[in-house]
């Protein structure tokens, strides 16, 4: 969840933000003092270990209820081709954090997938000195599909699709299987309805998130008892990269999808 993350560049200006879709899903670009400072720390750490081409993305930012200066952050860095040593990156990150505050690094995971490198992280940080961002500099924050929560990331792939089906379709599913290929995905679920009807449109809209061309999913719903359903969902123009911010390195349970 996101709390109080927007800040003004000037007293009379409204918070600056915009929405954008890219290969990795839907993002809101924001201006926030805490996140801008952390982003500057991250940029310095990435450059320190020799990475020249990179993109920083943020998945969750949350502030402690009692200690307002304590921020919990999840995100990842995407780069290409350059091998990353986890210990070197962690050392560079800690060193740069010390220039601005203090932090506890909870997780750092390195994933090489389809010739691209991903550095996933979550950390608790107290920022004592803020870096003033360049004017117009905005930071991307993930907007997950309907039914998913940033606080639950990273998901297992099957659990991710289970939650999408259950929460968007008003269903309770006891069995689900997922088949992923380079350009198409198939979700097969056995479910029980917990309301008067299945919300087909909301279900379709949620799964459209994973299409590279905003293609409509194909839903095949068959009733097999008074409250039971067999649900097949086909995702044409499936874009595997939209899964990466949601499942992190767990995408490796599937053969490379590129």
Distance between CA 106 and CA 225 in Å, rounded? 46
Counting the structural domains of the chain, the total is 2
For residue 10, pLDDT over 50 is answered with: no
Q: What is the pLDDT of residue 150?
A: 96
- Which pTM does this prediction carry? 0.88
Q: What's the rounded mean pLDDT across residues 105-131?
A: 92
Name the nearest CA neighbour of 153 among 131, 199, 125, 120. 120
Domain extent, residue 218, equals: 153-246
pLDDT band at 13; cut points 50, 70, 90: very low
Residues 173 and 161 sit within 8 Å (Cβ to Cβ)? no
Residues 35 and 125 sit within 8 Å (Cβ to Cβ)? no
The answer on 199 and 116 residing in a single domain is: no
For residue 194, pLDDT over 90 is answered with: no
The answer on 113 and 37 residing in a single domain is: yes
List the beta bridge partners of residue 79: 54, 117
Q: What is the pLDDT of residue 136?
A: 64
Q: What is the CATH number of the domain that holds 86?
A: 3.30.2000
The answer on 22 and 115 residing in a single domain is: yes
The answer on 164 and 85 residing in a single domain is: no
Name every residue whose Cβ is closer than 8 Å to that of residue 84 and which is 6 or more positions away in sequence.
49, 51, 110, 117, 119
For residue 126, pLDDT over 70 is answered with: yes
pLDDT band at 93; cut points 50, 70, 90: very high
In-domain check, residue 11: no
Residues 33 and 138 sit within 8 Å (Cβ to Cβ)? no
Calculate the average pLDDT of the chain: 88
Query: pLDDT of 200-254, one tens digit each?
Result: 899 999 999 999 887 899 999 998 888 889 999 999 999 999 999 999 999 988 7
Distance between CA 50 and CA 150 in Å, rounded? 30
| Phi-psi category of residue 25: left, alpha or beta, with phi > 0 → left and psi -120 to 50 → alpha | left
Name the nearest CA neighbour of 62 among 5, 9, 129. 5
Q: What is the pLDDT of residue 133?
A: 66
The answer on 133 and 162 residing in a single domain is: no
């Amino acid at each position: 969840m996101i709390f109080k993350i927007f800040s003004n560049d000037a007293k009379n200006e409204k918070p600056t933000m915009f929405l954008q879709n890219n290969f990795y899903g839907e993002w809101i670009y924001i201006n926030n003092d805490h996140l801008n400072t952390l982003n500057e720390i991250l940029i310095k750490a990435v450059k320190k270990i020799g990475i020249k081409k990179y993109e920083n993305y943020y998945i969750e930012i949350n502030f402690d209820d009692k200690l307002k200066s304590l921020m919990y952050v999840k995100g990842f860095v995407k780069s290409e081709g350059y091998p990353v040593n986890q210990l070197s990156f962690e050392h560079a990150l800690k060193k740069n954090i010390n220039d601005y505050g203090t932090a506890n690094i909870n997780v750092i995971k390195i994933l090489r997938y389809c010739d691209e490198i991903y550095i996933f992280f979550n950390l608790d940080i107290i920022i004592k000195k803020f870096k003033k961002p360049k004017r117009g500099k905005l930071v991307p924050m993930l907007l997950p599909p309907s039914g998913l929560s940033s606080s639950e990331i990273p998901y297992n792939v099957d659990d991710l699709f289970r939650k999408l089906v259950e929460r968007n379709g008003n269903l309770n599913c006891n069995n689900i299987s997922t088949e992923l290929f380079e350009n198409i995905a198939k979700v097969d679920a056995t479910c029980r309805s917990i309301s008067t009807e299945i919300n087909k449109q909301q279900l379709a809209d949620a799964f459209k998130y994973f299409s590279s061309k905003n293609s409509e999913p194909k839903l095949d719903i068959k009733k097999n008892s008074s409250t039971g359903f067999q649900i097949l969902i086909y995702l044409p123009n499936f874009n595997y990269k939209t899964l990466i911010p949601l499942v992190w390195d767990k995408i490796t349970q599937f053969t490379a999808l590129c």
